[in-house]
């Protein structure tokens, strides 16, 4: 199965009048968008814009209050989620060795030492394979979380600020890994508030502000001439309220 | 009090002398209580994890029942097991009354709710941490439970230890279902009860000290294990 | 770790099955017994002789006579050795036991603190002593557990026409426990109590307590032995149980009972016929 075709199998992503609220707080308001392009989609916006929530809804970890999410014209369900993987901002690693963390997500039919070692080598963690995962440095932990996500061979990879609290060398490693992954045809949706990272990686950009989706543009258009005043303010480094 | 110093000396000489009766009694105490704890853990860990992870109707009720039965009086458990295992009772044909097996059964009943209730707490905390990640990977419930139990194994060891403390120290249940038969079902606590009733207070107290040393060593071993696990960030 | 769990599991299963098995062989019997015969060390003296002769292991469950009778009614024993004649006869009459044999006797004594507040330590009869204890409301610890000793004590109170339970919790203390525990309670609270002589002689926590009433015919203490009825309880090991009963009342058994001494004193006096 070629990954390239696999990714396109889950596209397009259609979001239709999506709302999410906690108690009476509307945290996401009437979001509609259609993403049909392969490559890397960056979700950008200031803190509290609702980016992480939106990502969780796309993955089906949260239920929308109203509206609908469809991947390849099908409503989001477990079978679709199984074809995706999400990397959290703070990696949740199990209290086991590095290798055992990978083994856990390889399902019993595909589990093989070879596959695991491959993934670890890709992430530059092969040498540490028998170390306790929770003794790794912050950057290594995030690489392991990413490696574990990739081990499941997702067609769509969702990432929530994967480089929020790690050093620049690791950030570079992760960005390279993401580009390789994207090149293999895996659709990537990346939440970040690092404008530089979004510039380096994104093919297209979703800009969110205060629970609303304000823009969906190709990266070039967005960074050169954002259409909303909030986005221009954000890109200029002004505080956006 | 005279008895205290006598008891210390006596405990010391019993241990040094390696009294064969004493060794037999200690051996049986450990065998009965450790087996009971293992059985309780095999039931209690999954039961605790199940009530921590799976939302099903009656979950709260089970949690309340488990918490309440942590305080089950050993004599009551002993009585119930006696009635069940008595030759006149429903399981009399198994010929288990007045055997170590009957004592294991009684202690298992006593300890299982403790282990289940405490492991529910432990597993619930870890479930909180792992939940989103597991749901993201679509891990089926039985694997979630297995993984949570395995990953909290060192905390669960402490839970099992609490159960062991209860088992090794109780006398009410084992004396009824075991009968405190010499060389067959006499354990530390029933021996202490017997020596007390003979007015042998110093010997009873000496046995008490030895029981305390036993409990201390088991505790120390488990804490040592946990400490090394913590160094590996496994606990 | 996994291996450890597995091994322990197997061990647990073996323990349960194994001990059930060991017990169902015919070479061991269970004797439901009063505590005095066990606590005084009599069984430690008798049973090795019996086992050497017959290869039958005797497992003694020492509880009060009342509890022993109850357990035997549930078929949880092969032989009964207790000391409450009328209750024993009732047990046989109701078909739970085969036949009752006298085994041995000793006597009950009243023990108390040397201060002797009720002034009973002057060769007085048991009934008078009880009346004085009640009259002076001196503390008296009672077994209160339906045991042989308790039954005896209650029959004595009945003859004095005093109902001690009206003073329950004030001067009349019902411990609801075995003889040893009751003696500990009496010694601890300076109360009088009634005990069989064997238990008293072997009791190690006497402190300054003394025997104050003894030698009254009313304080006679007869022990009896009964085989549990195999017709009622089909799991009774008829043959082994019968051998034990026969041996106890035989010349060998009786001589062995007479030979048992503690601190130079004979504790039980054989009187089987």
Neighbours, chain A (3 or more CB pairs < 8 A)? B
Establish if A83 touches chain B: CB-CB under 8 angstroms: no
Establish whether the linkage from the previous residue to A12 is cis, with ω within 30° of 0: yes
**pLDDT-based confidence at residue A102 (cuts at 50, 70, 90):** very high
Q: What part of C 180-239 touches B (C-beta under 8 Å)?
A: 180-181, 183-184, 187, 202-206, 233, 235
- Interface contact A96-B233, CB threshold 8 A: no
Report the DSSP beta bridge partners of residue C213: C110
ipTM exceeding 0.85? yes
User: Taking CB atoms and an 8 Å cutoff, what residues of chain B touch C235?
Assistant: 87, 92, 95
Nearest residue of B to residue A154 by CA position?
B137
Establish if C5 touches chain B: CB-CB under 8 angstroms: yes
Would strands C28-33 and A212-218 be described as parallel, antiparallel, or unpaired? unpaired
Q: pTM of the entire structure?
A: 0.87
- Interface contact B38-C5, CB threshold 8 A: yes
**pLDDT over 80 (residue A239):** no
- Interface contact B87-C178, CB threshold 8 A: no
Neighbours, chain B (3 or more CB pairs < 8 A)? A, C
Within this chain, do residues C198 and C208 fall inside the same structural domain, yes or no? yes
Tokens of A28: 């996401």
The CATH number covering residue C165 comes to 3.40.190.10
Comparing CA positions, the residue from A48, A52, A27, A93 lying closest to residue A189 is A52
Within this chain, do residues C137 and C211 fall inside the same structural domain, yes or no? yes
The pLDDT of residue B7: 84
**pLDDT over 70 (residue C17):** no
Within this chain, do residues C210 and C192 fall inside the same structural domain, yes or no? yes
The pLDDT of residue B5: 83
Tokens of C33: 């017994």
**Cα A65 to the chain's mean position, in Å?**
22
**pLDDT-based confidence at residue C24 (cuts at 50, 70, 90):** very low
Please say whether the beta carbons of C172 and C142 come within 8 A: yes
The pLDDT of residue A108: 66
Establish if B43 touches chain C: CB-CB under 8 angstroms: no
Domain count across chain C: 2
Is residue C1 domain-resident?
no
User: Taking CB atoms and an 8 Å cutoff, what residues of chain B touch C17?
Assistant: 101
Within this chain, do residues C96 and C117 fall inside the same structural domain, yes or no? no
CA gap B6, B202 in Å, rounded: 6
**pLDDT over 90 (residue C123):** no
CA gap C171, C182 in Å, rounded: 14
Rounded mean pLDDT, C7-35 = 64
**Cβ–Cβ contacts within 10 Å for residue C59, how many?**
20
The pLDDT of residue A5: 45
Is residue C240 domain-resident?
yes
CATH architecture of A3-92+155-235: 3-Layer(aba) Sandwich (3.40)
The pLDDT of residue A6: 46
- Interface contact C23-B95, CB threshold 8 A: yes
**pLDDT over 50 (residue A126):** yes
Q: What percent of chain A has pLDDT over 90?
A: 80
Rounded mean pLDDT, B101-122 = 97
Q: Flag the least confident range among A131-135, B171-175, C26-30, C106-110.
A: C26-30
Report the DSSP beta bridge partners of residue A190: A42, A159
- Interface contact B199-C180, CB threshold 8 A: yes
User: Taking CB atoms and an 8 Å cutoff, what residues of chain B touch A86?
Assistant: 136
Helix (H, G, I), strand (E, B) or coil at B5: helix
CA gap A219, A224 in Å, rounded: 8
**pLDDT-based confidence at residue B104 (cuts at 50, 70, 90):** very high
Is residue C6 domain-resident?
no
**pLDDT over 90 (residue C58):** yes
Return all residues near C130 (Cβ < 8 A) that are at least 6 apart: C156, C157, C160, C162, C164
Q: What part of A 87-126 touches B (C-beta under 8 Å)?
A: 88, 92, 94-96, 104-105
- Interface contact B199-C203, CB threshold 8 A: yes
Establish if C35 touches chain B: CB-CB under 8 angstroms: yes
Rounded mean pLDDT, C55-68 = 95
Q: What percent of chain C has pLDDT over 90?
A: 88
Establish if B30 touches chain A: CB-CB under 8 angstroms: no
Alpha helices, DSSP H only, in chain A?
3-10, 51-59, 78-82, 98-105, 113-122, 138-151, 168-183, 195-201, 219-224, 229-235
Count interface pairs B-C at CB distance under 8 A: 102
Please give, rounded to a whole number of angstroms, the shortest distance from the CA of B135 to a CA of chain A.
7
- Interface contact B235-A81, CB threshold 8 A: no
Q: At what angle do helices A138-151 and A98-105 cross, to 10 degrees?
A: 30
Establish if A78 touches chain B: CB-CB under 8 angstroms: yes
Is residue C214 domain-resident?
yes
Establish if B201 touches chain C: CB-CB under 8 angstroms: yes
Helix (H, G, I), strand (E, B) or coil at A30: strand
CA gap A130, C112 in Å, rounded: 73
- B10 vs C200: which has the higher pLDDT: C200
Mean pLDDT score of chain B: 93
Alpha-carbon separation of residue A81 from A32, A75, B135, C71 (angstroms): 20, 11, 9, 63
Rounded mean pLDDT, B158-165 = 94
**pLDDT over 50 (residue B231):** yes
Ordered by start, the domain boundaries in chain B are: 19-189
**Cβ–Cβ contacts within 10 Å for residue A241, how many?**
8
Count interface pairs A-B at CB distance under 8 A: 40
User: Taking CB atoms and an 8 Å cutoff, what residues of chain B touch C184?
Assistant: 196-197, 199
Within this chain, do residues C182 and C198 fall inside the same structural domain, yes or no? yes
Q: What is the DSSP letter of A132?
A: B
Instruction: State the burial class of residue B101 (Cβ atoms within 10 Å of its Cβ: 0-12, 13-18, 19+).
Output: buried
**pLDDT-based confidence at residue B235 (cuts at 50, 70, 90):** low
Return all residues near A44 (Cβ < 8 A) that are at least 6 apart: A51, A192, A193, A195, A198, A205, A206, A207, A208, A222, A234
Rounded mean pLDDT, B190-216 = 93
User: Taking CB atoms and an 8 Å cutoff, what residues of chain C touch B104?
Assistant: 12, 15-16
Nearest residue of B to residue A105 by CA position?
B137
CA gap A22, A25 in Å, rounded: 5
Tokens of C241: 């149980």
The pLDDT of residue A109: 66
CA gap A185, A146 in Å, rounded: 16
Please give, rounded to a whole number of angstroms, the shortest distance from the CA of C181 to a CA of chain B.
5
Mean pLDDT score of chain A: 91
Within this chain, do residues C125 and C187 fall inside the same structural domain, yes or no? yes
Please give, rounded to a whole number of angstroms, the shortest distance from the CA of C62 to a CA of chain B.
7
Please give, rounded to a whole number of angstroms, the shortest distance from the CA of A163 to a CA of chain B.
18
The pLDDT of residue A51: 95
- Interface contact B194-C39, CB threshold 8 A: yes
Tokens of A240: 């956006």
The pLDDT of residue B16: 86
Most A CBs within 10 A among B123, B127, B136, hence the mutation to make, goes to B136
Nearest residue of C to residue B186 by CA position?
C61
The pLDDT of residue A3: 41
Tokens of C118: 């009720």
Return all residues near C9 (Cβ < 8 A) that are at least 6 apart: B38, B42
Question: Domain limits at C189?
Answer: 107-219
Please give, rounded to a whole number of angstroms, the shortest distance from the CA of A94 to a CA of chain B.
7
**pLDDT-based confidence at residue C10 (cuts at 50, 70, 90):** low
CATH superfamily of B19-189: MetI-like (1.10.3720.10)
Q: In degrees rounded to 5, what are phi and psi of residue C111?
A: -120, 155
C199-218 core/surface letters (b: 16 or more CB in 10 A; e: else): bbbbbebeeebebbbbebee
- Interface contact A134-B147, CB threshold 8 A: no
Rounded mean pLDDT, A226-241 = 88
**pLDDT over 80 (residue A187):** yes
**pLDDT-based confidence at residue B19 (cuts at 50, 70, 90):** confident
CA gap B227, A72 in Å, rounded: 51
Tokens of A203: 């093919």
Please say whether the beta carbons of B82 and B177 come within 8 A: yes
Please say whether the beta carbons of B97 and B90 come within 8 A: no
Within this chain, do residues C115 and C213 fall inside the same structural domain, yes or no? yes
Instruction: State the burial class of residue C123 (Cβ atoms within 10 Å of its Cβ: 0-12, 13-18, 19+).
Output: exposed
Within this chain, do residues C100 and C123 fall inside the same structural domain, yes or no? no
Q: At what angle do helices B100-136 and C2-24 cross, to 10 degrees?
A: 150
User: Taking CB atoms and an 8 Å cutoff, what residues of chain B touch C8?
Assistant: 34-35, 38
Establish if B180 touches chain C: CB-CB under 8 angstroms: yes
**pLDDT-based confidence at residue C21 (cuts at 50, 70, 90):** very low
Please give, rounded to a whole number of angstroms, the shortest distance from the CA of B39 to a CA of chain A.
25
Rounded mean pLDDT, C160-167 = 95
């Amino acid at each position: 199965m070629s990954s390239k075709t696999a990714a396109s199998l889950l596209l397009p992503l259609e979001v239709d009048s999506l709302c999410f609220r906690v108690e009476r707080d509307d945290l996401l308001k009437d979001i509609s968008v259609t993403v049909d392009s392969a490559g890397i989609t960056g979700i950008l916006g200031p803190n509290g814009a609702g980016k992480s929530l939106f990502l969780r809804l796309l993955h089906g970890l949260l239920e929308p209050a109203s509206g609908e999410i469809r991947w390849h014209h099908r409503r989001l369900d477990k079978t679709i989620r199984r074809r995706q993987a999400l990397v959290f901002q703070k990696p949740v690693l199990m209290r086991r060795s590095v290798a055992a963390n990978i083994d856990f997500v390889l399902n019993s039919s595909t589990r093989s030492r070879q596959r695991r070692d491959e993934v670890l080598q890709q992430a530059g963690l092969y040498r540490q394979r028998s170390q306790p995962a929770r003794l790794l440095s912050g950057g290594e932990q995030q690489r392991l979380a990413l490696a574990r996500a990739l081990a499941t061979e997702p067609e769509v990879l969702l990432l929530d600020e994967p480089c929020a609290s790690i050093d620049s060398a690791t950030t570079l490693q992760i960005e390279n890994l993401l580009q390789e992954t994207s090149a293999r045809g895996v659709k990537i949706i990346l939440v970040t508030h690092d404008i530089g990272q979004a510039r380096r990686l994104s093919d297209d950009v979703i800009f969110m502000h205060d629970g609303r989706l304000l823009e969906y543009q190709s990266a070039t258009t967005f960074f050169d001439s954002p259409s909303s005043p909030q986005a221009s303010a954000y890109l200029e480094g002004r505080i956006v309220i | 009090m005279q008895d205290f110093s006598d008891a210390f000396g006596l405990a010391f000489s019993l241990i040094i002398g390696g009294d064969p009766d004493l060794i037999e009694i200690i051996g049986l105490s450990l065998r009965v209580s450790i087996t009971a704890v293992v059985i309780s853990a095999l039931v209690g860990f999954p039961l605790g994890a199940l009530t921590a992870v799976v939302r099903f109707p009656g979950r709260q009720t089970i949690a309340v029942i488990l918490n309440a039965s942590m305080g089950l009086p050993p004599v009551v458990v002993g009585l119930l097991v006696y009635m069940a295992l008595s030759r006149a009772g429903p399981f009399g044909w198994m010929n288990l009354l007045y055997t170590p097996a009957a004592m294991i059964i009684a202690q298992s009943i006593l300890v299982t709710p403790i282990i289940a209730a405490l492991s529910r707490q432990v597993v619930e905390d870890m479930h909180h941490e792992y939940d989103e990640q597991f749901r993201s990977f679509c891990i089926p419930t039985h694997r979630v439970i297995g993984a949570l139990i395995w990953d909290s194994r060192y905390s669960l060891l402490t839970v099992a230890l609490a159960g062991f403390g209860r088992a090794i120290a109780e006398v009410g249940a084992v004396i009824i279902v075991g009968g405190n038969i010499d060389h067959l079902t006499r354990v530390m606590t029933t021996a202490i009860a017997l020596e007390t009733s003979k007015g042998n207070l110093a010997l009873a107290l000496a046995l008490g000290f030895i029981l305390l040393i036993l409990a201390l060593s088991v505790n120390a071993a488990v804490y040592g294990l946990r400490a090394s696990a913590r160094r590996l960030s496994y606990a | 770790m996994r291996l450890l769990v597995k091994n322990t599991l197997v061990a647990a299963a073996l323990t349960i099955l194994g001990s059930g098995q060991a017990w169902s062989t015919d070479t061991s019997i269970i004797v439901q017994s009063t505590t005095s015969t066990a606590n005084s060390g009599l069984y430690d003296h008798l049973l090795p002789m019996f086992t050497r002769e017959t290869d039958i292991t005797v497992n003694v469950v020492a509880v009060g006579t009342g509890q022993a009778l109850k357990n035997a009614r549930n078929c949880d024993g092969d032989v009964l050795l207790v000391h409450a004649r009328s209750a024993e006869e009732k047990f046989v009459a109701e078909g739970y036991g085969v036949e009752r044999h006298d085994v041995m006797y000793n006597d009950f004594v009243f023990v108390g603190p040397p201060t002797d507040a009720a002034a009973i330590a002057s060769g007085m009869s048991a009934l008078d002593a009880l009346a004085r204890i009640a009259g002076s409301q001196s503390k008296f610890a009672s077994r209160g557990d339906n045991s042989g000793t308790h039954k005896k004590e209650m029959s004595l109170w009945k003859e004095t026409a005093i109902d001690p339970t009206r003073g329950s919790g004030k001067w009349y203390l019902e411990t609801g426990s075995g003889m040893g525990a009751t003696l500990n309670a009496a010694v601890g609270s300076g109360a009088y109590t009634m005990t069989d002589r064997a238990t008293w002689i072997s009791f190690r926590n006497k402190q300054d307590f003394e025997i104050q009433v003894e030698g009254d015919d009313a304080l006679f203490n007869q022990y009896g032995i009964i085989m549990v009825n195999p017709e009622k309880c089909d799991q009774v090991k008829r043959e082994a149980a019968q051998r034990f009963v026969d041996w106890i009342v035989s010349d060998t058994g009786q001589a062995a009972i007479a030979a048992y001494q503690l601190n130079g004193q004979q504790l039980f006096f054989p009187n089987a016929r």
